[in-house]
Copies of this chain bind each other. A is one copy, B any other.
């Protein structure tokens, strides 16, 4: 079931107020009587709630026959409040900067006020959605029973920040971007954006083995067809929306909240719940080494590396492959035992 939760005038961590903020979401399954069967599974970069559906289904860990699965849309994804759908004076390039905690606090309001939920069995997430899972674990330790961050980190690394900065520079170099006041989409910038992104989101081996020609479950003829397909993943989004989510990603920092005082060790040690952190062995921007350092500082966490040549794509429903999907699903099932 799709819905929109009205957050009203929503005060962001920056102090700025997002007027009439909206949180779009989709739910799968039914909330049981004592409200103890909740899974939260937020969206990732450029994704929308329908993209999450691939990991949800009967017989899977996220089984709607058993669980009430809530998929909130991240701010700036074009469904929740975003540069592209917010009226003046917060429209387009004037949309405020959003951080990961802003998303998590809005999601908390949805779960508690709309559904009266007090416990979450699992917060699962891929990529930026994994970053949200870490933040949930640190901010609401009494509420969250387990987290499963897949191909994502608690704090965006300097290298990851740089990869994103390159994307931003390319998109905004297009004269049609006009400082975000474009009339027509900045096509050249968007094409550069998706081409650069494609180099990062899968591993060298993925391309050596021409697995790009199976991208999205299709049978593609060549790199050009692949790049056109990958382009659609990003170009379905408005350019300012892409930059808004990118800003959230670049600024992602678990320690950036009252109580943690920018102390990442303190923030990670606040994640008391059970956690299985799942990097992909070949992820180029969320490498396993970053997660290993984080897991060392979490009291109840396990590092479980996905053995995959799909790079970052290993964790993304619809982008990966049966073996990786099954590997992840089995870990999630173990967390839900």
Spell out A's residues near B (CB within 8 Å). Answer: 157-159, 161-163, 165-167, 169-170, 172-176, 186, 188-189, 191-192, 195-200, 203-208, 210, 212, 223, 227, 284-285, 287, 289-290
Contacts and interface: CB of A to CB of B under 8 A. Distances in A.
Contacts of A207: 157-159, 162
- What is the count of identical protomers in the complex? 2
B195 A169 contact: yes
Nearest to A285: B204
Contacts of A199: 159, 162-163, 165-166, 200
B166 A195 contact: yes
A205 B192 CA distance: 26
Contact of A205 (B188, B191, B206, B289): B289
Contacts of A223: 158, 161-162
If over half of A's interface residues share one DSSP class (helix, strand or loop), that class is named, otherwise mixed; here it is helix
Contact of A173 (B174, B200, B285): B174
A243 to B, nearest CB: 14
Given A165-B199, A170-B170, A284-B284, 8 more contacts: A165-B195, A166-B199, A170-B192, A170-B196, A173-B191, A174-B175, A175-B175, A204-B290
A161 to B, nearest CB: 7
B173 A210 contact: no
A120 B183 CA distance: 60
A192 B208 contact: no
B173 A204 contact: no
A9 to B, nearest CB: 34
